[in-house]
Structure 1
Amino acid sequence: MALFKLAFASAVAYGLYRYSERSRVGQTDHAAFAAGETNGANLAKARHAGSEAMRSDPPEWDRADQASDESFPASDPPGTY
């Protein structure tokens, strides 16, 4: 009887897992992107530079932040530092 209960609980857990994964199919909202910034399902996601392309607006944004954001992922920092 205990084995039956364990199998039933496992089946229910698997069903809930599959149901939750099904709702994520086609989801393109990524944490770093503002609404409408991502398109398609490509592997090399890149967003536009600037605070308006971010999902959450930073409390402060100056020229150095903008230059750093525009140069990412370059290995050298921008010249405005």
Structure 2
Amino acid sequence: MSLLQWAAVGAAGYAIYRAVQGKKAETSHVAFADGEPADKNFAQVRSAGVEGMRSDPKQWDKTDQASDESFPASDPPATY
């Protein structure tokens, strides 16, 4: 196979991949958990806590929870 044929096969494969993944990528946001309504959320702020995250952190304690609940406030939580 020539280099041009390999390039055409690669481009076709990439186009198929994007077509399959494109719909999911357009509707999901990075910070929001699956099923979290982000489209109607004007401020684009997710729910506080691990439940609102797409990926679960390995360690999560009361301080992390309080800090996440206070975001985007300028003051740190009182649990420090």
Give the structure-2-normalised TM-score.
Answer: 0.63
Whole-Å separation in 2 of the counterparts to 1:59 and 1:42: 27
- Which structure has the greater CA radius of gyration? 1
- Alignment partner, residue 32 of structure 2: 33
- Alignment partner, residue 80 of structure 1: 79
Identity of counterpart residues, as a percentage? 59
User: What are the Cα deviations for residues 1-35 of structure 1, in whole angstroms up to 9, with x where unaligned?
Assistant: xxxxxxxxxxxxxxx7xx87xx45x9231111100
Q: Size of the alignment, in residue pairs? A: 62
Provide structure 1 residue ranges, at least 5 long, that are not aligned to the other structure.
Answer: 1-15
- Alignment partner, residue 11 of structure 2: none
Look up the SS of the partner of 1:27 in the other structure: helix
Contact 1:71 1:78 in 2 (8 A): yes
Whole-Å separation in 1 of the counterparts to 2:29 and 2:63: 25
Aligned ranges for residues 19-58 of structure 1 at < 5 Å? Answer: 23=22, 27-40=26-39, 43-58=42-57
- Alignment partner, residue 4 of structure 1: none
Provide structure 2 residue ranges, at least 5 long, that are not aligned to the other structure.
Answer: 1-14
Whole-Å separation in 2 of the counterparts to 1:66 and 1:48: 11
Look up the SS of the partner of 2:63 in the other structure: helix
